[in-house]
């Protein structure tokens, strides 16, 4: 991408959707577009690192760089962008850990970090993201615990963290994530049982906890949810009979 883009200093929206012939890197000079509210190159063929100069865009609300070939770490300067409501870094080749400053994005509603090479634990500051509706952490190499971080995020509707190394049990307090529509916790190292309180998630339609180390039985109340389209508890040590299903004929 040419450095000449810096001269479009009055732009508020720079949105390239599926640009088939867009290759190269994002130049540092893109930071001169200080009036941008939306910056989107998704999906494209951009590579290199994410410029730290993006932090100059103090009014930025949407940062969408998913499905590219970016590498390196998440810039340490992005914590200055406190108006962000949407971040998509998914499907790249990013490495390193999630910076602690992510907890400062108090307006953030969607965070897409899936399918990278990110490692480490989830910052405790994530518990501050009370506006968050969607969180995708799947297909990385995260470790540690997860539920103690996300339980305060009572606005969450979609939570995906499959294919990582998260440990710990599913707590009874999961009932407070009452707006959840989909939960994918498959392919981790979760232990313990499915707590009966998971039956409080009366809006959930997708539940996947396959390929963990769970035991016990399926809470009967869970299978009475007529809106449940998908439940996968396979490749665990869950035993017993499948409870009788309630069929909704409407």
Strand arrangement of the beta sheet that strand 45-48 belongs to: 23-25, 45-48, 69-72, 93-96, 117-120, 141-144, 165-169, 189-193, 213-216, 237-238
Share of the chain above pLDDT 70, in %: 92
Q: How many C-alpha atoms does 40 have within 13 Å on its Cβ side?
A: 16
Instruction: State the chain's mean pLDDT as an integer.
Output: 92
pLDDT category of residue 9 using cuts at 50, 70 and 90:
confident
Residue 98 is predicted with a pLDDT of: 98
pLDDT at 92 over 90: yes
Give the torsion through C-alpha atoms of 94, 95, 96, 98, to 10 deg. 30
The answer as to whether 240 is a domain residue is: no
The domain that holds 16 is classified in CATH as 3.80.10.10
* Owning domain of residue 150: 3-193
Residue whose pair of structure tokens reads 């100059």 in the numeric block: 56
Residue 28 belongs to a domain: yes
- Residue 136 inside a domain? The answer is yes
Q: pTM of the prediction?
A: 0.93
State the average pLDDT over residues 203-211. Answer: 96
pLDDT: which is higher, 240 or 179? 179
Confidence band (pLDDT; 50, 70, 90) for 132? very high
Q: How far is 129 from 126, CA to CA, in rounded Å? A: 6
96 within a domain of the structure (yes/no) = yes
Q: Is residue 151 situated within a structural domain? A: yes
Is 222 contained in some domain? no
Mean predicted confidence (pLDDT) in 77-102:
98
Residue 201 lies in a domain: no
- Mean pLDDT of the 75-84 span: 96
Lowest mean pLDDT among 51-65, 116-130, 220-234: 220-234
Q: What is the pLDDT of residue 239?
A: 86
Q: Kindly tell me if the per-residue pLDDT of 250 is higher than 70.
A: no
| 179 within a domain of the structure (yes/no) | yes
| Per-residue pLDDT tens digits for 47-66 | 999 999 999 999 999 999 99
Q: How confident is the model at residue 79 (pLDDT cuts 50, 70, 90)?
A: very high
Number of domains in the chain: 1
């Amino acid at each position: 991408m040419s450095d000449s883009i810096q001269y479009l200093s009055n732009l508020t929206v720079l949105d390239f959707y599926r640009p088939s012939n867009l290759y190269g890197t994002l130049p540092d000079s893109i930071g001169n577009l200080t009036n941008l509210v939306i910056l989107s190159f998704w999906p494209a063929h951009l590579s290199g690192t994410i410029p730290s100069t993006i932090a100059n865009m103090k009014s930025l609300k949407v940062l969408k760089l998913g499905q590219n070939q970016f590498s390196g770490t998440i810039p340490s300067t992005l914590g200055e962008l406190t108006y962000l409501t949407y971040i998509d870094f998914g499907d790249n080749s990013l490495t390193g850990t999630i910076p602690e400053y992510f907890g400062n994005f108090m307006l953030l509603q969607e965070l897409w970090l899936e399918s990278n090479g990110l490692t480490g634990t989830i910052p405790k500051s994530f518990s501050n993201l009370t506006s968050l509706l969607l969180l995708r952490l799947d297909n990385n190499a995260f470790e540690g615990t997860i539920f103690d971080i996300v339980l305060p995020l009572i606005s969450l509707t979609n939570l995906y963290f499959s294919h990582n190394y998260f440990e710990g049990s599913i707590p009874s307090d999961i009932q407070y994530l009452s707006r959840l529509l989909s939960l994918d916790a498959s392919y981790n190292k979760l232990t313990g049982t499915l707590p009966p309180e998971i039956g409080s998630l009366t809006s959930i339609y997708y539940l996947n906890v396959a390929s963990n180390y769970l035991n016990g039985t399926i809470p009967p109340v869970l299978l009475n949810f007529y809106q449940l389209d998908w439940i996968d508890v396979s490749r665990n040590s869950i035993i017993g009979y499948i409870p009788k299903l309630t069929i909704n004929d409407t």
